[in-house]
Structure 1
Amino acid sequence: MARATSSRIGVAVVASLIAVLVIGAALLVWLWLGHNPNSGVEPAPSPQPAPSTTSTIPAATPAPTQTPSPTEPVAMPGPTLEPSPAVTSTPQSTSTPARQPTHTPSPTPTQPPKPSVYIRTFTASPDPIERSGTVTLTWDAPGAEAVGITRLSPTGDIFLEPEAHDLPAQGSMDLQVPDNYVESVKYYLGARDATGELAQAYVTVGVLCSYDEYIAPRCPLSQVHPWAAYEPFERGHMVWREDTREIYVLYDDGDYETYLDTWQEGDPVVIPGTPPPGLYAPVRGFGNLYASQPQARERLGWATAEEEGYTMWVETRPGGSGRYPGITTYFTLPDGTVLNLYPFTSTWQSLP
Structure 2
Amino acid sequence: MRLPFRRPLSLLLLISLLPALSGCGAAAFEVVPTTRPTATAAPSETPSPTLDRSAVPTATLTPPPATGGPSPTPLFGQPMTLAASPTRALLNPNAPRIEFFTADGAAVAPGNIVTLYWSTRNASDAVIYQMDRGERSRLWNVPPDGSLPVQTRTSDRGVLDFVLSIGDGVQRVEQPLSIPLACPDVWFFNPAPSDCPTRPAEETFIIEQPFERGRMIYMQAVDRVYALFNDGFDPAWLVLDNRFDPAIHPESEPGFPVPPGYFQPTNELGFVWRGNDLVRNRLGLGAQPESRFNGLIQRAAARDGAETLYLSSAEGSVLRLLPGGDAWEIIALP
The bucket for the TM-score relative to the shorter chain is 0.5 to 0.7
Task: Pick the aligned partner of 2:281 from 295, 298, 306.
Answer: 298
Cα distance in 2 for residues equivalent to 1:111 and 1:283? 75
User: Which SS does the other structure have where 1:290 is aligned?
Assistant: helix
Structure 1 counterpart of 2:329, one-letter code: S
Contact 1:118 1:142 in 2 (8 A): yes
User: Which SS does the other structure have where 1:141 is aligned?
Assistant: strand
Cα distance in 1 for residues equivalent to 2:306 and 2:320? 14
Task: Pick the aligned partner of 1:177 from 141, 148, 152.
Answer: 152
User: Which SS does the other structure have where 2:327 is aligned?
Assistant: strand
- Name the structure 1 match of 2:210: 232
Contact 1:339 1:348 in 2 (8 A): no
Cα distance in 2 for residues equivalent to 1:273 and 1:263? 18
1:282 matched to 2:258: no
Structure 2 counterpart of 1:160, one-letter code: R
Task: Pick the aligned partner of 1:128 from 107, 111, 122.
Answer: 107
May I ask how many residue pairs the two structures share in their alignment?
Answer: 237
- Name the structure 2 match of 1:63: none
Correspondences of 1:157-172 after superposition (within 5 Å)? 158-165=134-141, 167-172=142-147
Cα distance in 2 for residues equivalent to 1:284 and 1:246? 13
CA drift at 1:127: 3.7
User: Which SS does the other structure have where 1:116 is aligned?
Assistant: coil
Contact 1:337 1:350 in 2 (8 A): no
1:292-349 Cα distance to aligned partner (Å, 9 max, x none): 223321221110111112233322222373xxx33232223123433333443x2332
Structure 1 gap ranges (5+): 1-108
Cα distance in 2 for residues equivalent to 1:199 and 1:351? 48
User: Which SS does the other structure have where 1:225 is aligned?
Assistant: strand
- Name the structure 1 match of 2:171: 197
CA drift at 1:122: 1.3
1:209 matched to 2:192: no
Identity between Structure 1 and Structure 2 (%): 19
1:312 matched to 2:292: no
1:263 matched to 2:244: yes
User: Which SS does the other structure have where 2:270 is aligned?
Assistant: helix
Cα distance in 1 for residues equivalent to 2:271 and 2:307? 28
Runs of 4+ in 1 over 6 A off after TM superposition: none
Structure 2 gap ranges (5+): 1-86
1:242 matched to 2:220: yes
Structure 1 counterpart of 2:186, one-letter code: D
Structure 1 counterpart of 2:258, one-letter code: P
Q: 1:184 to 1:308 in 2, by over 3 A?
A: same
Q: 1:300 to 1:179 in 2, by over 3 A?
A: same
User: Which SS does the other structure have where 1:279 is aligned?
Assistant: coil
Task: Pick the aligned partner of 1:219 from 183, 189, 196.
Answer: 196
Contact 2:321 2:329 in 1 (8 A): no
Structure 1 counterpart of 2:107, one-letter code: P
- Name the structure 2 match of 1:273: 256
1:169-211 Cα distance to aligned partner (Å, 9 max, x none): 1122221224443232121111116x75122222222212111
- Name the structure 2 match of 1:89: none
1:230-270 Cα distance to aligned partner (Å, 9 max, x none): 10001111001111111101111352221222223453134
Contact 2:228 2:328 in 1 (8 A): no
- Name the structure 1 match of 2:75: none
CA drift at 1:351: 4.8
Correspondences of 1:4-43 after superposition (within 5 Å)? none
Contact 2:187 2:197 in 1 (8 A): no
TM-score, normalised to structure 2, is 0.63
User: Which SS does the other structure have where 1:296 is aligned?
Assistant: helix
TM-score, normalised to structure 1, is 0.60
